[in-house]
Structure 1
Amino acid sequence: MKPPPSTASSVGLRRLRIDDAHEMTTVLADPALYTFTGGQPPAEDDLEKRFAIKAPGRSPSGAEIWLNYIVTLGTEQLAVGYVQATIPADTATADVAWAIGTQWQGRGIATGAMTQFLDVLRDHRITELIAHIHPDHIASQRVAECLGMTRTSEIVDGEESWSAALHPQM
């Protein structure tokens, strides 16, 4: 049985921590999640290593800022996915991505999480968003549209580039 539909107020974000690996291993366990992105479900120890690199928020070389957040649901802050941005140092452009575990998809959680994440990006003075979305991934295209992103003519590794200007909140 699937959890009940979410409401925007029940979606939250928290900064990625190394100890999120255990819970996220379950969230990312369904092979169907990788239909459009490739890859396979990660093992917990692989996630711990990956999270140890990402959690500080900057690439080892210092050339990129990495913003990685766990998407949570409800007052118990159940992890259901993640949002992330890669920002080349000294730019105002963020390459964004999101993933929600398959059992929580179709409830507006990705859109709600990314809408909140836009405020984080504004705090980092980001003015342009870019996402790379598989041409057959309709759900991610809908999220991008809800964020005001539009498809460009650029193709990167078989994925369509989407972009949007990010304006300050008034």
Structure 2
Amino acid sequence: MLITTDRLVLRRFRPGDAETLAAYRSKPAVAIYQSWRAPYSVERARYAIETMAAADPEQPGWFQYAVELASRGTHIGDVGVNLNDNLRQAEIGYTIAPEHQGHGYATEAVRAVLDHLFRRGLHKVSAECDARNVASARVLERLGFTREGLLRGHTWIKGEWTDDLIYGLLEEDYFGAAS
């Protein structure tokens, strides 16, 4: 499975991605809003990549795309898609290494995945983010997602209750916005 944009290649994870995956997932600025804790070991990254490599993007469950710069072949992040059992809905998440943030890569990568998902017939894609993660919320809003709710004190993570923002994007809104 390969998705390309002008600047990016979204592909399956490979064993050689373990060190870069561990490096960006170990950064406190990345891990703060995620379920994992920093540091994120290379061994844990290897295991995650084995699991990701076995996943099928056309079947229910999580599939992670490795995001790399097309010009350099540099692995800079990932986009995850959790396809619902009904094959018509999905949840999406994304992570870009801090040194590559601020260049529009998250927006470009997620837009490419959304285009793929909606063209294969999905009805809705959802996303959830920590309410403090303003940059992630901006990416979703830039892509046309609607903020559907705020779940106050919803997630117990890393010793504290956090608020979660809930976003959704319908197929008809995506194609209406894309035209």
TM-score, L = length of structure 1: 0.82
Does the Cα contact within 8 Å between 1:72 and 1:81 map onto a contact in 2? yes
Which residue does 2:143 correspond to in 1? 147
- After TM superposition, list the pairs within 5 Å mapping 1:112-131 onto structure 2: 112-131=108-127
Query: Residue 26 of structure 2 aligns with which residue?
Result: 29
* Alignment partner, residue 57 of structure 1: 55
Whether 2:17 is the aligned partner of 1:20: answer yes
Distance in 1 (alpha carbons) for counterparts of 2:164 and 2:85: 24
Gaps in structure 1 of 5+ consecutive residues:
1-7
| Residue 154 of structure 1, CA deviation | 4.8
Residues 19/122 of structure 1: CA separation in 2 closer, same or farther (3 Å cut): farther
Contact kept in structure 2, 1:86 and 1:95, CA below 8 Å:
yes
Question: Which fold has the larger relative contact order, with Cα–Cα distance below 8 Å and residues 6 or more apart in sequence?
Answer: 1
Segments of 4+ moved more than 6 angstroms: none
Alpha carbons 1:150, 1:163 under 8 Å: kept: yes
Show CA shifts across 1:46-102 (max 9, x none).
11112212222259xxx8332211111142220111001101222311110001011
Counterpart of 2:6 in 1: which secondary structure?
helix
Partner SS for 2:131: coil
Gaps of at least 5 residues in structure 2 are: 156-162
Shift of 1:9: 2.2
Residue type at the aligned position of 1:75: S
CA distance in 1, matches of 2:129, 2:100: 19
What is the aligned partner in structure 1 of residue 7 from structure 2? 10
Distance 1:96 1:122, change over 3 A: same
Letter aligned with residue 52 of structure 1 = E
Partner residue in 1 for 2:158: none
1:28 aligned partner, one-letter code: R
SS in 2 for 1:55: helix
Is contact 1:27–1:79 with CA below 8 Å preserved after alignment? no
Alignment partners' CA distance in 2, 1:47 and 1:106: 25
Cα distance per residue 1:3-55 (max 9 Å; x no partner): xxxxx722221122343212322233312212222522311111111221222
Is 1:164 paired with 2:169? yes
Equivalent-residue separation in structure 1 for 2:12 and 2:52 (angstroms): 10
Q: Is the 8 Å Cα contact of residues 71 and 79 (structure 1) preserved in structure 2?
A: yes
Question: 2:106 matched to 1:110?
Answer: yes
> How many residues are aligned here?
160
Cα separation, 2, equivalents of 1:29 and 1:16: 18
The answer as to 2:88 corresponding to 1:89 is no
Superposition deviation, residue 134 in structure 1: 1.0
Name 1:43's counterpart in structure 2. 41
